[in-house]
Amino acid sequence: MIAAWLRALATAAQFLTRLPIPGGASAAPESFAQDIGRSLLFFPLVGAAIGAAAAIVVILADALWPLVLAVLIALIIEARVTGALHEDAVADVCDGLGGGRTAEDVLRILKDSRIGAFGALGLGLAVALRAGGLMAQPDAMQVALVLVISGCMGRLLMLAVMAAVPAMPGREGLGSHVAPAANWRGCGIAALLAAPVLLTGAILDPRGMAGALLGCGVFLWWYRRLLLRRLGGSTGDAIGAAGYAGIVLTTLAFAAHF
């Protein structure tokens, strides 16, 4: 049983990073579905770990450069670790929803590897909002905290979108192979596993944490309606973009003056 949970943790890390993580989901059909379902429970914790890696970079870089540069260096390193997974999804979704009139148009644009005006603008603004929110923090330690909390919240929002919006049939990737394993019970268990991270944020900055939860909740309500209206379901890109939205919204909440 311990081996199965370690395999699930490795699977979650393989989904969310480009690090050479050994192990992962079993190739056996009877075990694969269980490994995928268990791996989702670790998404918020893996997100927090990714944020922690970026936080270490911020603290080290802050000893040499101004905080603005330390933040930019940390975001570069994080993008390398994750393979810019969520950033790529943001660009694709902005292009698809911005340029497509029908569901077929949106899906066709999502398959196109080229980036258009909507994608470039959406991704640029999203990264700018995140970077600006981090730079607005008073010091490197607060930036480190926000990186960890936002990394956790972003992946928790991904699970909520998977649970709230059915995957579109016939689509390859995260939306079709992983999302069907998500449900509200699993989302709750994932939140419990990540409770130490979330409680730390609530203790150190209760207003920021409350703002993050509220912002992500409102986004989930709006995004669910948008995906069902425009596509009739979710895709891997839509889920990945939700993860980055959760990261940005959490960062902005901790930067807000409540």
pLDDT digits (tens, 9 = 90+) for 172-222: 555 556 666 778 999 999 999 999 999 999 999 999 999 999 999 999 999
pLDDT of amino acid 179: 64
Please tell me the distance from the alpha carbon of residue 96 to that of residue 167, in angstroms, as a whole number. 17
Q: What's the mean per-residue pLDDT of the chain?
A: 91
Q: What is the dihedral of CA 126, 45, 70, 78, to 10 degrees?
A: -60
Interacting residues of 103 by C-beta distance below 8 A, sequence separation 6+ = 230, 231, 232
What is the C-alpha to C-alpha distance for residues 113 and 155, in angstroms, rounded to an integer? 24
| 56-69 pLDDT, tens digit each | 999 999 999 999 99
Cα–Cα dist 179/181, whole Å: 5
What are 242-254's pLDDT values in tens digits? 999 999 999 999 9
Query: Which residues pair with residue 234 across a beta bridge?
Result: 167
> Do 250 and 214 form a contact (C-beta atoms < 8 A)?
no
User: Which pLDDT score is estimated for 32?
Assistant: 61
pTM for the structure as a whole: 0.94
Tell me the pLDDT band of 145, cut-offs 50, 70 and 90.
Answer: very high
